[in-house]
Amino acid sequence: MATNTVREIAYGLAPGGGDETIDVASEEMLVNMGPQHPSTHGVLRVILRTDGEMVLEAEPHIGFLHRCKEKIAEYLNYYQYVGYTDRLDYLAAMNNNHAWAMCVEKLAGIEVPRRAEYIRVIAAELNRIASHLVSFGTYGMDLGAFAPFLYAFREREYILDLFEQLCGARLTLSYINVGGVTWDLPPGFLDKLEEFLDYFEPKIVEYDRLLTYNHIFIRRTANVGVVTRDLATRYALSGPMIRGSGVPLDLRRDRPYSVYPELQFDVAVGTGAQGTLGDCWDRYWVKLEEMRQSVRILRQCIKQIPDGSFRAKLPRAMRVPPGEVYGEFENPRGHLGFFIESQGGTMPYRLKIRGPSFVNLACISELCRGVLLADVPAIIGSIDVVMGEVDR
């Protein structure tokens, strides 16, 4: 019998007729995946229209975690809102703090000391590694591999310990603030950071042996959920989503900010090494390579960080002149943007947030059409959404 697709067999459409045509009665069914399905990253509901094991259509439903973050900003001063940015992408609080602080500083014309800028990059790149470790571990669990989760969280604990030394917190940090950082680096912090980097870098090779080149993992992710360059640009995807499709777009290099122009690193892009360019495996591989590049950036920061002040001298009741500003910054999941409108005073008049997870999630309907039911967790897991950033 000739090889036919599942849909051809199910609908009796195999070419040639005769013995090759199988008459199977089938009926479409709506399946709710979520809002608390273990294979979704957060409180996400996806309605699947299925025919047997085939997914004909997927429609994401969001809003279960909506907390009015943009409206709240109109009632808080610029310092106070930092704690709310922690809870956008709660796996990358330092990166959110950094983006918010830079937008306010641009609007208010504040110059940040160089030592503070280096400390910010150290915190942001450590958080990038911690965020990608969660992605690596949970993605393995999405596809039935539990061990990578334990490995990833073992290393992530070291980073959280470093954050605890920096600011006393481990998840919602509020460490990077307008004008610099809350406190200077504690004594011996850079030595402990270097010890961690020496310990962590060989672990990425271990992850490759454990999961990256695992035969079953490759079969589940290669040629699945392919994001073409055209689709990536049409949906304005960013972060590992667009770099996994071979587009080397990274704002740290292309529109450099802070001290990134003084640091050397490579932009990780997918190459189609295990299948089609832009598939789930490529997006996964980009995150692992980005962890290697973050280690490289951190080692340079340790060598280059200058002495000096860790924060600009600003009044407690800081007044921002009237005006508008929009800034985009490279977060672990893509471009995080803040639009701030000020009419003078200590609080924003209007805030609009461009969350990368919200934008990246929009392509689910296209990626999950005509795939097998078991491919849906692989696709959603590779997008790596955080619902706090989607719903806001």
Domain count, the chain: 1
Whole-number average pLDDT of the chain: 89
DSSP code for 67: -
* pLDDT tier, 296 (very low <50, low <70, confident <90, very high otherwise): very high
CB neighbour list of residue 263: distance below 8 Å, 6 or more residues apart: 121, 297, 300, 301, 304
What is the pLDDT, as a whole number, of residue 388? 87
How much of the chain is helix, strand and coil, in % rounded to 5? 45, 15, 40
Mean pLDDT of 82-111: 93
Closest by Cα among 292, 354, 310 to 128: 292
Closest by Cα among 167, 150, 96 to 310: 167
Reduced to 3 states, what is the DSSP secondary structure of residue 150? helix
Q: Is residue 272 in a domain? A: yes
Reduced to 3 states, what is the DSSP secondary structure of residue 5? coil
What is the pLDDT, as a whole number, of residue 20? 53
Counting residues of the chain whose pLDDT is more than 90, the rounded percentage is 72
On whether the CB atoms of residues 199 and 129 are closer than 8 A, the answer is no
On whether the CB atoms of residues 155 and 203 are closer than 8 A, the answer is yes
CB neighbour list of residue 59: distance below 8 Å, 6 or more residues apart: 46, 47, 365
Report the alpha-carbon distance of residue 228 to residue 247 in Å, rounded.
Answer: 10
Q: Is residue 186 in a domain? A: yes
Give the helix ranges, DSSP H, for 185-274. Answer: 189-207, 215-221, 229-234, 240-243, 251-254
pLDDT at 8 over 50: no
The larger pLDDT score, comparing residue 53 to residue 13, is at 53
Q: Is residue 302 in a domain? A: yes
Counting residues of the chain whose pLDDT is more than 70, the rounded percentage is 92
Report the alpha-carbon distance of residue 93 to residue 123 in Å, rounded.
Answer: 10
Report the alpha-carbon distance of residue 216 to residue 213 in Å, rounded.
Answer: 9
What is the pLDDT, as a whole number, of residue 23? 52
Q: Is residue 348 in a domain? A: yes
Give the helix ranges, DSSP H, for 19-92. Answer: 69-72, 82-85
pLDDT at 13 over 50: no
Q: Is residue 256 in a domain? A: yes
Q: Is residue 42 in a domain? A: no
Report the alpha-carbon distance of residue 305 to residue 113 in Å, rounded.
Answer: 11
Q: Is residue 49 in a domain? A: no
Q: Is residue 48 in a domain? A: no
pLDDT tens for 232-274 read: 999 999 999 999 999 999 999 999 999 999 999 999 999 988 8
CATH number at residue 274: 1.10.645.10
181: containing domain: 75-391
Choice among 8-12, 51-55, 98-102, 344-348 with the minimum mean pLDDT: 8-12
